[in-house]
Amino acid sequence: MSKAIRIFALAAAAAGAAIAYKKFSEKAERADDENKAILYRAQEQGNRQAYIVGGGLGSLAAAAYLVRDCGFEGKNIHVFEGLHLLGGANDGCGDAQHGFLCRGGRMLNEETYENFWELFSTIPSLELPGRSVTEEILAFDAAHPTHARARLVDKDGGILDVRSMGFTQKERLALGRLLVTPEEKLDDMTIADWFSETPHFFETNFWHMWQTTFAFQTWSSLFEFRRYMNRMILEFPRIETLEGVTRCRYNQYDSVILPLQRYLEAHGVELIAGTTVTDLDFAGKDGITVSALHCRDANGESSIKISPDDICIVTTGGMCDSSTLGDYSTPAPAPEEKAISGELWAKLAAKKPGLGNPYPFFEKTEETNWESFTVTSRGNRLLKLIEGFSGNIPGSGALMTFKDSSWKMSIVVAAQPHFKTQPMDVTVFWGYGLYTDRIGDYVHKPMKDCSGEEILTELMHQLHMEDQLEAVKADIINVIPCYMPYVDAHFEPRKMSDRPQVVPAGSTNLGLIGQYVETPEDMVFTEEYSVRTARIAVYTLLGIDRKVCPVTPYNRDPKVLATALKTAYR
């Protein structure tokens, strides 16, 4: 144990002197700004235009920063989205007649989402007059605390005691060494590479919980796993209860995207759905200056000239690209297209050096895919069965994983209603499986080949409630499978140079945002990453003298490290 203590202490020392940290506080942030008399409003931008590619959270955040901090008129900001619904991976749609749908489910975190909370502290709530979205979410979360009582369930339907992480001493030491190993030495390494001499690591309670909370695979990038271990070290001691998960009142579209969209619309921002940006032109041989934007919509191809004074901000990749949907009786079909956003990035990278390398992320769909499903029912029979099994009322359990299921299936039962338009006599929950090619334990087909009914049947057997299956089926409105070939692409093994900088060297008017650009120490697959990259892009391109909230270094705090070490020995 003394050796492990020295390694964890070295992790703290290598990061620098210990600092006293404080939880994000909107009021404290504003008071600090006022006390320093910092003026963030930029000088008049005149007729300068901003072209933003992609309609996800990062793009909408960039537009909000342009309005709020940079003096842009909304009419001069143009956001292009290929789909007919904004939000990217923060989606939510449907109705009580045909079933509701969330392709993904975004978890928030109060401590590590610094820029996310700052931005949404200035976005008005749609339901609480005089309150911000940040205030609305944090108030709802405080009133609906998370404490999972059935985090892992075994093949016999037994709820496991997961208070122990299950590590051997050798595994503890391997984790400690990883924390102090420089990222520069981890090019192209996978998690499996690092733990090759300790294969039992992948049987521990820790791995089953960490994997399914964040969607890691054994073949995922060691870079990203290390960053999560450092960035989310506060979650390590509470991973078995997921008490650190911050929940919205509704799904991510209704709670996060819709109020942000309404804010932008109120300021006159042009939100252009159903339009795909297919390419960008660059001016001259030297530097990186966007001169034209090419796009395609229902009316065909068109081009827009871009002045050197204009700015262009591009989302380099979308995790829900090329996703397909099934229904209760039909599997989600195999996708026919490649990652649209990834293809745009590839075109740009081929034209100019310094724009990264998309190929490690988008070439192995057998590694980057998984499948989600959204269940819509009349009444609450199924939710009551799950509540009785888990001991968690809807919204309090966060995530329940069937540890031994061949699909590595998990479900999330959120507080009801989960959609603004959801009737009181309708219930909705969401789930996913990480291994879509594997044969189900009860439905003897790969998950990706299963209809919604078959996925529901597998779930009911994992719950050992097959005797209730027919009664539950009678209540079902729809079960919508969603196959996402690139949902884990950001976790693919890579070199340090494969992800480009937010504003590449030599760029005069191009910024890159989203989950495939590089921001030191932060972790991809989060709302915070999208907002942070957007903020960096806007401030850098326009020379705005305002700080971006830094990554809070919880991994340097001795108390946090001590708690993590204690957890490792549980």
- How many CB atoms within 10 Å of residue 424? 8
Write the pLDDT tens digit of every residue in 227-246. 999 999 999 999 999 999 99
Residue 15, classed as helix, strand or coil, is helix
Q: Which tokens in the block code for residue 15?
A: 């990061």
d(CA 60, CA 81): 11
Both tokens of 164, joined, read: 């122990």
The ranges of the chain with pLDDT < 50 are: 1-2, 4-28, 30-32, 34-42
pLDDT for 45 equals 79
CB–CB of 434/402 below 8 Å? Answer: no
Positions annotated as catalytic residues are 228
Query: Residue 7's pLDDT is what?
Result: 46
Give the predicted TM-score (pTM) of the model.
Answer: 0.92
pLDDT value, residue 561: 92
Structure confidence at residue 12 (pLDDT)? 39
What pLDDT was estimated at residue 44? 67
Bond prior to 417 in cis (omega within 30° of 0): yes
**What pLDDT score was predicted for residue 150?**
97
Gyration radius (Cα) of the chain, Å: 23
Q: Are strands 77-81 and 270-273 parallel, antiparallel or unpaired?
A: parallel
Q: Round to whole Å and give the CA distance between 147 and 89.
A: 26
The tokens for 462 are 């994992």
390 φ, ψ to 5°?
-90, -25
pLDDT of residue 110: 93
- Residue 49's contacts (CB-CB under 8 Å, 6 or more residues apart) are 76, 77, 78, 306, 307, 310, 311
Tell me what pLDDT residue 120 has. 98
Query: Residue 32: what pLDDT?
Result: 46
pLDDT for residue 9: 42
